[in-house]
Chain A
Amino acid sequence: MSRRRLRDGLLATLFFGAALIAFAFLALPIIAIFTQVSPGRLVSLLGKPIVTDALVVSFKTTVAAQVLILLFGTPAAYLIASRRFTGRTFLVTLVELPLVLPPAVAGLGLLATFGRFGLLGSTLDSLGLSVSFTQTAVVLAIVFVSSPLYVRTAIAAFQAIDPDLVAASRTLGAGSTRTFFRVVLPLAFNGLAAGEALAFARGLGEFGATIMFAGSLQGVTQTLPLAIYEAFAINFDVALAMGALLVAISAVLLFTLRLILSWQPSRRTSPSLFAPLS
């Protein structure tokens, strides 16, 4: 008996130790960003032009990218969720591929498509449009990298809707448009919001694809992560200030996401209405 107790005690200690190390490893770099420089100085450093410029670029491009993701991603997700067709699995895999792709490869792909010598380059050129190394390129890079997070969450949210509710709406005289806006969209809302929060956070941190496809031109294509990279070589404290800013924004986003996911209003008839979101 005592040997068994000893063994159990030892295992518990090991578990607690491992957990402690894991938490410390994740928390220390984040804490360090805030402790290297005094809070007052951090705030004053945020007034530097490189920071304000990057903030404006990041804000504009992220918002534009999210609008595009919602406008194009929502119908795409709904069609994949509600239709059965050949090649559906292939399509889902295609949608998820950018998630696992190295960002550098994503940047290469975008260049090879929209670049001057790319697939659509000459077409765009003849229209007088040049995409690469413009703010449009930043938006496209963010959309490419972060939309899969929204689309796959949205597919799950649409699939979780009881098909009887959609059928009920139709038998009650509502056409497919009214059914979509009055039944499908409200019921999928939590899932869509969660997916959008994830895509927003991912887009804000986009680095690899952006630097390859859009470059890092202050005030034009230089987003916060790119500005951090540039400042890091020149003024470490400025880099830290921007890092702190991104940590704060990301924390707020993540917290909002948790709130959305835990907000289970009393508007469900069955507990399985929303599938667990990964």
Chain B
Amino acid sequence: MATLSADFSLALRSFELRLALEVERTVALAGPSGAGKTSILRVIAGLARPGSGRVALDEDVWVDVSRGVFRMPDERRVGLVFQEYALFPHLSVQANVAYGGKERAQELLERFHISHLAKARPGELSGGERQRVALARALARDPGVLLLDEPLAALDAHTKATVRAELQELLSAFDLPTLIVTHDYEDAVALADTVGVLVEGTLRQMGTPEELVSRPMDPFVASFTGANLLRGRADGHEHGLTEVQLESGERIYSTDRASGDVGVVVYPWDVSVGRLHVDDSALNLIQGEIASVVRVGNRVRVRIGPLTAEVTEASADRLELDRGGTAFASFKATGTRLIEFSGLSLGA
């Protein structure tokens, strides 16, 4: 399979976008809005000119600023799926797909199960159908690279899960280097095998989803991947445990080694919830008021003091967790990660 290599900089309104990236399979860049995600795709597709750097698909050079090479978008083998899909409103589904390439249009309509919509206009389609048309159109061009801009953002929560599964299936069926940008970390993890976290034009960390969760390199990555982040001060290391004095007053222990101002990373699924004080010195314990109880699918997210815990629906019912009540959140010392604050801000 081909490899897309992109290494460039682009001046945006309030910061400079710098990126060095190799895309072989599926890579997702996740980050808050305004991080420069769409600009990355625009540079690779040829819709924006980088200030410096190089973009190439294998030996095929698309941009090389130092050598004065800039190929127009229609001279690059690139398939870009726009966030709002950008389907031509005056053309039928059939004509939209055939716009990219007539030869493959029929086959793609069938493959994406949209043959029955061939004569429909984009305005008559649902969000999921539009996405399939946009994807089919981009692939009709027989691209060497597939770029997806927020593929799931234009969908409502109800259809999102279905479309996400569909998209996963389609992406694995087409063996193309694919770059996805999204503001939703969960979408990134669901669609790609390598995930990068992008903040203000800079890649903070890149790795497999497991790596990002288990070894976040900075507080932003930790909180972006869904972790709790508690601020505190590490006081020394004894018997393999670091004691941390939290800003909220509690003392907790971590198996990680650190000193000075630290961020304590705890994942919601590593936090247990109880109504009674359990005297177990092996557990970190935080007592607090239940600030919110939110059902997410078959799980329940409970906010206790500074912590979010994720428990099953059954245990939430059994514990009778209600807003305003008091509860104990507990987690093991081994379930924590310590990140030293070296002047790093929390980002957005």
Binding site for B on A (CB under 8 A): 162, 164-165, 167-175, 182-183, 186-187, 265-270, 273
Contact = CB atoms under 8 A, between A and B. Distances in A.
B226 interface: no
A222 to B, nearest CB: 43
A171 B47 contact: yes
B141 A267 contact: no
B123 A172 contact: no
Given A267-B121, A269-B122, A172 B99 contact: yes
Nearest to B92: A267
Given A171-B80, A172-B99, A266-B124, A273 B89 contact: yes
Interface in B61-114: 72-74, 76, 78-80, 82, 84-91, 99-101
Given A171-B45, A173-B141, A266 B121 contact: yes
12 contacts: A164-B82, A164-B84, A168-B86, A170-B72, A171-B46, A171-B47, A171-B73, A171-B78, A172-B140, A182-B99, A183-B88, A267-B90
Given A167-B45, A171-B46, A173-B101, 9 more contacts: A171-B47, A171-B141, A172-B74, A172-B141, A173-B100, A174-B74, A175-B72, A269-B87, A269-B123
Nearest to A187: B90
A209 B127 CA distance: 55
Given A266-B124, A267-B121, A269-B123, A171 B74 contact: yes
Nearest to A168: B86
A131 B101 CA distance: 51
Given A164-B84, A187-B89, A269-B89, A171 B123 contact: no
Interface in B114-150: 121-124, 130, 137-138, 140-141
A54 B84 CA distance: 54
A169 B98 CA distance: 12
A266 B89 CA distance: 8
Contacts of B124: 266
A170 B121 contact: no
A174 B99 contact: yes
Contact of A167 (B76, B86, B121, B123): B86
Contacts of B46: 170-171
Nearest to B45: A171
A169 B123 contact: no
Given A167-B73, A170-B47, A162 B141 contact: no
Residue from A164, A187, A269 with most neighbouring chain B CB atoms (10 Å): A269
Nearest to A167: B47
A6 B86 CA distance: 56
Contacts of B91: 267
A168 B73 CA distance: 9
Contact of A186 (B47, B90, B137): B90
Nearest to A174: B74
Contacts of A187: 89-90
Contacts of B88: 165, 168-169, 183
B42 to A, nearest CB: 8
Contacts of B87: 168, 269
Contacts of A267: 89-91, 121, 123
B251 to A, nearest CB: 54
Contacts of B121: 266-267
Contact of A170 (B73, B79, B85, B123): B73
A240 B14 CA distance: 67
Given A175-B74, A183-B88, A273-B89, A266 B123 contact: yes
Nearest to B149: A164
A152 to B, nearest CB: 23
A268 B73 contact: no
B326 to A, nearest CB: 50
A40 to B, nearest CB: 48
Contact of B74 (A173, A183, A269, A273): A173
A162 B85 CA distance: 12
A275 to B, nearest CB: 15
Contacts of A266: 121, 123-124
B79 A171 contact: yes
B176 to A, nearest CB: 15
B72 A164 contact: no
A189 to B, nearest CB: 8
Contacts of B99: 169, 172, 174, 182
Contacts of B100: 172-173
A192 to B, nearest CB: 14
B60 to A, nearest CB: 15
> Across chains A and B, which 4 residue pairs bring their CB atoms closest together, nearest first?
A170-B73, A164-B86, A168-B86, A172-B100
B62 to A, nearest CB: 12
Nearest to A183: B88
A156 B318 CA distance: 63
Contacts of A167: 45, 47, 73, 80, 82, 86
Contact of A268 (B84, B123, B138): B123
Contact of A168 (B72, B82, B101, B130): B82
Contacts of B141: 171-173
Contacts of B140: 172
A172 to B, nearest CB: 4
A260 to B, nearest CB: 15
A170 B80 CA distance: 10
A167 B80 CA distance: 10
